[in-house]
Amino acid sequence: MSERRVYIDYNATSPLKEEVKAAMIEDFAVYGNASSLHTAGRLAHARVEEARQAVGKLLGALPADIVFTSGGSESNNTVFQAMRQIGLDSEGKVRSAGRTEIIVTEIEHPCVLNSAKFLETMGFKVTFLPVDEYGKIKIDALRTALNERTLLVSVMMANNEIGTIQDIRQITALVKNAGAWMHTDAVQGVGKIPVNVAELGVDYLTMSAHKIYGPKGIGALYVKNGAPLSPLIHGGHQEDGFRAGTYNNIGILGLGKAAELASAEVERYGKELSALRARLRDGLLAKVPNIKINGHPTDVLPNTLNVSFPGAEGEAILLSLDIMGIEVSTGSACASGSLEPSHVLLATGVSPEVAHGSIRFSLGWGITPEDIDYTLETLPPIIQRLRAMSTVK
């Protein structure tokens, strides 16, 4: 085992920033229930509302339009829950008239894909939009799929595996023109590229704290004033009755602090991370023959580099790198452990064999040029050895 640890898997999760950790530790002393009317409660409540303002500022939203959730998965599920309530009649059957059709892309995160598939089992019509070789959705397919029965369109802002960024503003304009609700899962976009819900025009936007150096188990859903919402968790009147349960103050504080830092740093993030990404990409292209860079050449997250190494097997590359102290992934953390090749790479037309030999490098604050150079020294001999051993050519 190498002493040196180089974590290059920030799209799976990011470590807490020191400032976030300090804010959270301080908040352990704030014991009040944010819904209580006494002083301790009001103090806790004030801090929750400050965090809501920080999240609103990061997203260009009014604080009143931010709902705290347990994370990206819950935020996404909440949107599909609202659609389920609209689409079902009093007997629990999909309405025969009105808007009941859902459109998502083939490359969504499992929590959107499986929410859509769940509605499909209940009788909703769901269209899975294809993407091109770079992972961009095919706008013509969206135009064809949209009709007067479309209820919701959900398109992720940036893909967690290949980093491709969609033109959410253009997509939203089409969707709103067709009279449907528009949701974007922006978990990977927020903090990495500028995000402004007013400019985008979306009705719903999902974000998660642990992908922006905040704690796990907390996130938010932006809900435009007037967009339908119904609770996944019934109970008390927290979050205007849309999300019951005593406030997770410490988590919310951590999210607020992470949002505040992300607002201040997003521009510098873009510059510094894309320079590191270019160093890694150019180094790999120079040192490893016959590789393929996946994702869009320019409309891509500054931190995400997905590379196929034909003739080598992804899990073997991952484990060999881990022994050398370098932590990467073969795709999304949620799909690892399954032997299925990445649904995202397959959707871009990569063959199952090549998809199996692919690695996602996702960079973040804390990675230095020396870490990139160490990776560039370590990886080429591993690929050479694995290719020499391989029976797949």
Ligand X SMILES: *Cc1c(COP(=O)(O)O)cnc(C)c1O
Q: Kindly list the catalytic residues.
A: 334
Say how far residue 230 (Cα) sits from the centre of its chain: 22
Question: By CB under 6 A, which span of 146-154, 184-192, 227-235, 244-252 interacts with ligand X?
Answer: 184-192
Phi-psi category of residue 197: left, alpha or beta, with phi > 0 → left and psi -120 to 50 → alpha: alpha
Spatial CB neighbours of 286, under 8 Å, sequence gap ≥ 6: none
Residues in the chain: 393
HSE value, Cβ hemisphere, 13 Å, CA-based, for 329: 23
Q: Which of 210, 257 has the CB closer to ligand X?
A: 210
The reply to whether 9 sits near ligand X by the rule CB under 6 A is no
Under the binding rule (CB under 6 A), the answer on residue 105 touching ligand X is no
Closest CA to 355 of 322, 296, 307: 307
- Site pattern 156..175 for ligand X (x: CB under 6 A): x---x---------------
Site membership for ligand X, residue 254 (CB under 6 A):
no
- Pairing mode, strands 304-308 and 292-294: antiparallel
Q: Which is nearer to ligand X, 185 or 371 (CB)?
A: 185
Q: Is 295 a binder of ligand X (CB under 6 A)? A: no
Please give the C-alpha separations between residue 135 and each of 47, 59, 162, 348, in angstroms, as whole numbers.
40, 24, 8, 6
Smallest separation, CB 137 to ligand X (Å)? 15
Other beta carbons within 10 angstroms of residue 104's beta carbon come to: 24
Q: Give the residue with the Cβ less far from ligand X, 88 or 126.
A: 126
Please report how close the Cβ of residue 135 comes to ligand X at its closest, in angstroms. 13
- Judged by CB under 6 A, does residue 187 bind ligand X? yes
Nearest to 78 by CA among 247, 259, 236, 220: 220
Q: Does 73 bind ligand X (CB under 6 A)?
A: yes
Exposed, middle or buried by CB within 10 Å (0-12, 13-18, 19+), for 125? Answer: middle
Answer for which of 111, 276, 284, 318 binds ligand X (CB under 6 A) is: 111
Q: Which is nearer to ligand X, 188 or 378 (CB)?
A: 188
9, 185, 313, 371: residue in contact with ligand X (rule CB under 6 A): 185
Binding footprint of ligand X, residue count (CB under 6 A): 14
Dihedral sign, Cα of residue 249, residue 252, residue 254, residue 260: negative
Q: Which of 56, 72, 87, 215 binds ligand X (CB under 6 A)?
A: 72
Contact residues toward ligand X (CB under 6 A) are 71-73, 109, 111, 156, 160, 185, 187-188, 208, 210-211, 219
